[in-house]
Structure formats: C-alpha cells, structure tokens
Amino acid sequence: MGHDKLRKFAENETFSCLLQPSSEEVLADGFENLRDHPVKGHWFERNEETSGEKTSAAPLILELGCGKGEYTLELARRNPDSNYVGVDIKGARLWKGAKTATLEGLPNVRFLRTRVEFITAFFAPGEVSEIWLTFSDPQPKSENNRLSSPLFLERYRKMLRPGGIVRLKTDSRFLHEYTKAVAEANGLRILACTTDLYAPGAPGIIEPEVREVKTFYESMFLEMGVPITYLAFTIDHEGPYVHPGRKFDAALWRELDSSRRSFGH
C-alpha cells in the first residue's frame, strides 16, 4: 500500500464527519441479521447540541457510491436546510470528501464508509427522504448487485419515508432501461425520465440542480459525447418487489450499451 494512501487512511481517523464502522461490527449477528449501529435514527443530532436547532428533522438525503463526494458536497452547499450522507466503501476516495467538508465547515454533510449491502444497519425507518445513485456500476452480468434491483429497493424501502425518491443518473443506457423496467413492473410512480439529460429537448420539469451539479465522471463522459440519462421515481409499493422479466431485454441493452461506450471512448 502506497504512503499517500496510508496517510489518507490515518487522516480519515481525525474527521468527525466520517463514520468508519468495521464489517465485523455490522456482521456480528450474521448477514441476515445485521447489527444496528448506534447512529441509526440519530444522524446529525450532534449539530443540535451546538446550534440549538432541530437539524435532525431536516430532510436526509443519501448518495450511494459517492466516490470522492463531490456530488454530495455540492448538493449540501446549495441546500443548507437539508442533510446529506455520502456512502462508499473506498476510504481513499472518501478522504477527499471528508477533508473538504471539514475545511469548509459544512455542518450538513457526513460520510459513511461501508458496503451498500449493509445500509439498513445505519438508517432507521422513515429517516431518509431521497437516495441518489450517481454513475453506479451497471453490473451487466449480476442483477442482484445492481443498486436499483428489487433486492436493493427492498433495502431502501426500510429506511425511506413514504413518497421517498430514488434518483438515478448514469451514462449506462443498460442500467437506465433496466431501472425503468423495474419501476414499471412494480407500478412505481416515475417522476422524471430522459435518455439524454443535456439535449435541448430534454424534459424541462427536472430540477435545475440535476443538470447543474456534475460528478467528475459525468463531466468526462460529456466531453466524450456520451449521453447522460436520468430517472427519478418513488418506491412506494405493497408486497415484494418483482423483477422486470421479459419487459427488459438484457442481452439487447448490454450489447447496445457496450457499443455506445466504445464509440464514446
């Protein structure tokens, strides 16, 4: 391991905005019975001790797979009345976001280093208002590993408020079409959908920050001419979530996605 990475890991221990629970701690009772972390249901309550304001009642918004946290940070700067938590498993990436939040003194930002599979151990029912999936790995060969699969939607349902929103922003047409098929198969309400977010004719009802806030990879993809897709939907649903089945032609979209990405590169 390089010295720079070791330095970042050491500095991560000093950031009060970064929570780094061990996997052993979460898995103490097994994967099917994740052990709740003390922060569950109590995010941002520390702010109240110093400010005297009820900040824990503010909307709590997650970014899953946040990388260096640039999207989480910019949303937090623009929306000081909302709280944000960026989640990623890579400590060296999270160092950048946590250090920036610390230097800027952003009170409404936290970062969590954990696997997304463990997410229900950290957020209580109804604690989360929105979830952002920004340029997630499309996992073309493993449906249950896609962050918009029925398996993950079930996890999100355990912590999202009624009417809670999932927002997917991706360069992968495969993941976009898959997620749309999942939403339609389960009768979920689609709030916004476009296969080219920055095209002149893209829907105008999309919130300005969806276009104005960009990740590093998003800017890179745009420079290569790769269209960015966007999909927002609520996950209110009774009963188990179902897979899209024949409504989604995985082989077709996998091939088209591969060709499109190769053309972009």
CATH value at residue 219: 3.40.50.150
Per-residue pLDDT, 4: 86
- Hey, which residues does 142 pair with through a beta bridge? none
Are 243 and 153 in contact by the 8 Å Cβ rule? The answer is no
H/E element, 253? helix 250-264
Are 83 and 58 in contact by the 8 Å Cβ rule? The answer is yes
- Separation CA 90–CA 247 (nearest Å): 34
Tokens at 249, concatenated: 């032609």
Tokens at 36, concatenated: 């709740």
Task: Give catalytic residue positions.
Answer: 137
Query: For 81, what's the count of Cα atoms within 13 Å in the CB-facing half-sphere?
Result: 0
Number of domains in the chain: 1
Split at pLDDT 50, 70, 90, the class of 57 is confident
User: Where do the H-state alpha helices sit in 39-104?
Assistant: 45-51, 70-78, 91-104
- Separation CA 57–CA 75 (nearest Å): 18
| pLDDT more than 70, % of the chain | 93
Domain that holds residue 132: 3-264
Q: Between the ranges 42-51, 182-191, 216-225, where is the mean pLDDT highest?
A: 182-191
Q: Which DSSP letter does residue 146 get?
A: S
Split at pLDDT 50, 70, 90, the class of 259 is low
- Separation CA 97–CA 165 (nearest Å): 24
Tokens at 178, concatenated: 């898959």
| pLDDT tens sequence across 103-147 | 999 999 999 999 999 999 999 999 999 999 999 999 999 999 999
User: Where do the H-state alpha helices sit in 160-206?
Assistant: 173-185
Cβ-Cβ contacts under 8 Å for 242 (sequence gap 6 or more): 150, 185, 186
For residues 181-202, average pLDDT: 95
Tokens at 34, concatenated: 């994740």
Quote the mean pLDDT of the chain. 92
Chain centroid to Cα 33, Å, comes to: 23
- Hey, which residues does 83 pair with through a beta bridge? 60
What dihedral do alpha carbons 49, 52, 53, 54 form, nearest 10°?
A: 50
Per-residue pLDDT, 204: 81
Residue with tokens 């946590």: 98
- Separation CA 166–CA 257 (nearest Å): 22
